[in-house]
Amino acid sequence: MKQLVDLTTWNRREHFAFFSAFEEPFFGLVADVNVAHAFARAKELGVPFFQVYLHAALQAVNSVEALRYRIEDGQVYCYDQIHASPTLARPDHTFSFAFVPFAQSLTEFGLSLQAEIDSVEQSTGLRLNANASRLDVIHFSAIPWLRFTGLTHARAFAHPDSVPKISVGRYRREGEALLMPVAVNVHHGLADGYHVGLFFSAFQQALDAV
């Protein structure tokens, strides 16, 4: 479900019009989150760490209204619920786009995630199906081979895009903390640094509450 945002009364109408005219309306921020608790809980529960932090990221995205805005035919809609569109790797080091519906239950979410992982491993190519073009998602990728402090995305500027892009990198130990870099790229007409800050706060809370 989604609701049309009334642009005539929206307090971001000028921001939306201004940044929507840019060739590149996205901006990005990178910050660390502490995943020590979530990593330990994943081991205790016997579930993949990827499942735990992807689920926590979705919980955080769904708690921030600005990250549920999407642009369709020049109009802005707010989706009731956002799902995951992660890139999933295969043993041959190719990857595929995927779709995993959000579920409040970590266990239920994990079942859908594993089914999608299995499907990707039995396929080839990018799987450019209907789910690959959904707007009620976040584009999510994991880059566990290295720690990054900045990140850009391949984008076709002629193609209208308003889907937030979240990427995580290799974690590192600092004292009692286990720090993981997280890059968030969003359309500036829909969200500002304040809203990305809300996401990071909610993400950390979700990681600590597993």
Residue 145: give its domain's CATH number: 3.30.559.10
Reply yes or no on whether the pLDDT at 50 is more than 90: yes
What is the pLDDT of the chain when averaged over all its residues?
A: 97
Reply yes or no on whether the pLDDT at 157 is more than 90: no
How many distinct structural domains can be found in the chain? Answer: 1
Segment 104-119, tens digit of pLDDT: 999 999 999 999 999 9
Predicted model pTM: 0.96
Question: What does DSSP say about strands 165-169 and 137-143: parallel, antiparallel, or unpaired?
Answer: parallel
Q: How far, in Å, CA of 166 to CA of 18, rounded?
A: 24
Question: What's the sign of the alpha-carbon dihedral 165, 138, 187, 20?
Answer: positive
Look at residue 36 in the predicted model and tell me its pLDDT.
98
* 133 Cβ contact list (under 8 Å, min separation 6): none
Q: What is the mean pLDDT of residues 44-54?
A: 98
Q: How far, in Å, CA of 120 to CA of 88, rounded?
A: 7
Q: Which residues are catalytic?
A: 188
Between 160 and 87, residue with greater pLDDT: 87
Task: Domain of residue 150: give its range.
Answer: 2-208
